[in-house]
């Protein structure tokens, strides 16, 4: 988290630097910075998924020009699943807990959330590689799309486990 932490540290104004010396404020601010780092990471992952989707939109255009409506429908399904996962990642819970909530979110949980979200980068890279290998002229386009769809579903299931980090369910 060094890169994001450094950028957040540099962005502090003089008031925030002085306020860090107030009792209780530093811990509160550290939690806020962890949430902000996690949000930045999730937005990065979601934007990479959007880039994969744009590549599929280009494939869709080629399929329309060719008149391959059967494959076009399947590409639409894959794009919808990809958009759903990207939105789930983009708008995921920040790890806030109210004062009287039974599930408290401490700094270690926030750190695990961030690490979990960083771990999604590998799956997104794999999706990007698969998208790059798609070719309208490929005889295995349909099976390549199926493989991409399966990887998107795995990513969705993997991201579904994120809630367990916040609630502690499944421990």
pLDDT digits (tens, 9 = 90+) for 99-153: 334 445 677 778 888 888 888 999 999 999 999 888 888 888 999 999 999 999 9
How far, in Å, CA of 56 to CA of 63, rounded? 10
90 pLDDT above the threshold of 70 = yes
Q: What is the mean pLDDT of residues 32-42?
A: 85
Alpha helices in the chain (DSSP H): 2-10, 14-19, 25-66, 69-90, 107-133, 141-160, 162-167
Query: For residue 129, which of 111, 147, 116 has the smallest C-alpha distance?
Result: 147
Report how many domains make up the chain: 1
**Domain range for 41:** 2-167
DSSP string, 6-29: HHHHHT--HHHHHHTTSTTHHHHH
């Amino acid at each position: 988290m060094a890169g994001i932490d450094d950028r957040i540290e540099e962005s502090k104004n003089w008031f925030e630097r002085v306020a860090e010396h107030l009792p209780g404020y530093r811990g509160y601010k550290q939690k806020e910075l962890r949430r902000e780092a996690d949000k930045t990471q999730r937005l990065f992952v979601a934007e990479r998924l959007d880039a994969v989707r744009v590549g599929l939109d280009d494939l869709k255009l080629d399929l329309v020009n060719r008149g391959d409506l059967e494959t076009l429908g399947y590409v639409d399904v894959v794009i919808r699943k990809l958009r759903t996962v990207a939105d789930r990642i983009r708008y995921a819970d920040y790890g806030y807990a109210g004062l009287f909530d039974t599930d408290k979110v401490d700094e270690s949980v926030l750190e695990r959330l961030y690490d979990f979200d960083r771990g999604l980068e590998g799956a997104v890279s794999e999706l990007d590689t698969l998208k790059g290998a798609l070719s309208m002229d490929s005889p295995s386009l349909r099976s390549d799309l199926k493989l991409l769809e399966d990887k998107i579903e795995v990513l969705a299931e993997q991201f579904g486990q994120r809630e367990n980090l916040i609630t502690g369910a499944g421990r």
